[in-house]
Amino acid sequence: MLQKIYDWIDERVDVTPIWRDIADHEVPEHVNPAHHFSAFVYCFGGLTFFVVVIQILSGMFLTMYYVPDIENAWRSVYYLQTEVAHGQIVRGMHHWGASVVVVMLLLHTCRVFFTGSYKKPRELNWMVGVLLFFVILGLGFTGYLLPWDNKAYFATQVGLEIAQQVPFIGDALRTLLAGDPTIVGAQTLARFFAIHVFFLPAALFALLGIHFILIRKQGISGPL
Amino acid sequence: MSEKKQQVTRRQFLNYTLTGLGGFMAAGMLAPMVRMAIDPVLQESGAGDMANVGLAVEDITNEPQRVDWTITQVDGWYESEVTKSAWVFVNENDEIQAFSPICTHLGCVVSWEGSEEYPDQFFCPCHNGRYYKDGTNVPGTPPTAPLSVYEHSVENGMLYLGQPIPRGEA
Ligand code: HEM
Ligand code: FES
């Protein structure tokens, strides 16, 4: 059945070369844990992506219940956590996944560093990786405010103070992030929500796209 | 390797195992999310409490009268007061009738004798839908079903109304 649907499409559109080009290539021996167990360090990039996928999916589902409004944000999170079947699990996935993403990302970065994979011709992809790192930190920072509990509020207060320390543009930067020069409130929450759910994910997708295209073009770096 | 014909090749076996494993992981990831998303569909509809609508039974006449009352509605994390309405009267058999004013065509609000041209009928101004006094829709007008009937009870001489129950197509 599936094979027939695939053949029907393939006959008309010739999709096989497209996905072959993306997916069908050999895993070199030195990155295959079946040959050298220590090659598992090459899995960290893929694991980071896997956790990012979990974050995106669980985040999309959380948005079905979450409302970015100071009157209702906490209550909507409380409701989804206590009243909605499996809400606790999905929120848990997003909550813990946010930390696991950063851990995986750091392990991946260490692998790239210690195998020297950032060297010519792959400098560009290292830079893209650094941007990805900041985007993911940004997602963690903006997401942390969304439950609108005490921890969220005061953590953001501190985060904004840090932004304010930037020379010359600090004050403007804080206002830009918080929506107000002094208050952490209604406007801050709305902004952080927009940044967390639209702007940074869009940047994340673009950067991941470039990251993967570059890997496909340049191939994985050689053995040590 | 024996001469025997192979039922499943090594490649097929690995394909099936990997697809199964991948499917299992994807399912484990998606199951809680999907269960959470469809939760509203699976919620038991809270058997509606009966509300005192502030109308004494002795004040109910043969003439349908409109009663409005407010209930506390719990909508997820949001509680609010909402107003509900009914048309209440006693019919020829001395039975209390309480009709929902929601037109069964497309949901406008009907009124008793809402049109001068049709006395003794419920009238919906949106598309000239009409209902007889017993709530059945007048054939040839847009509504396709009679007005819904509120569950009702009487306590200490006061009228209590619950949920509007749809009557089938007529
Ligand atoms: C790498 C990607 C992401 C990271 C690191 C991340 C991080 C976070 C963090 C730390 C929180 C606070 C959770 C808590 O304290 O319980 C959060 C909340 C939230 N995130 Fe994300 N997030 C990511 C992607 C997304 C995406 C793509 C969406 C939506 C499309 C999303 C929607 C939400 C929502 C609605 C909340 C509020 C609900 C809650 O606090 O449980 N997130 N996020
Ligand atoms: S909504 Fe009442 S007649 Fe159409």
Transcribe B21-66 into DSSP letters.
HHHHHHHHHHHHHHHHHTHHHHSPP--PPPEEEEEEGGG--SS-EE
pLDDT in tens, A24-71: 888 889 999 999 999 999 999 999 999 999 999 999 999 999 999 999
Tell me the domain boundaries of chain B: 51-165
Strands B51-56 and B78-90: unpaired
Assembly ipTM: 0.85
Domain B51-165: give its CATH code.
Answer: 2.102.10.10
Report, in this order, helix, strand and coil percent for chain B, each rounded to 5: 20, 35, 45
Q: Is A33 in contact with A43 (CB distance < 8 Å)?
A: yes
Rg (CA), chain B: 28
Q: Is the pLDDT of residue A7 over 80?
A: yes
Are A101 and A179 in contact by the 8 Å Cβ rule? The answer is: no
Task: Decide whether any atom of ligand 2 lies within 6 Å of the B86 Cβ.
Answer: no
Query: ∠ CA B162-A65-A184 to the nearest 5 degrees?
Result: 120
Closest ligand 1 atom to A151 CA: 15
Res A224 pLDDT > 90: no
CB A108 within 8 A of CB A133: no
- Mode of pairing for the β-strands spanning B96-99 and B78-90: antiparallel
A93 and chain B: CB distance < 8 Å anywhere?
A: yes
Minimum CA distance residue for ligand 1 atom 8: A143
Say if ligand 2 is within 6 A of residue B126 CB: yes
Question: Which residue, by CA, sits nearest to atom 1 of ligand 2?
Answer: B106
Q: Which of B29, B36, B78 sits opposite A86 (nearest CB)?
A: B36
Tens of pLDDT along A85-115?
Answer: 999 999 999 999 999 999 999 999 999 999 9
- Is B82 near ligand 2, meaning CB less than 6 Å away? no
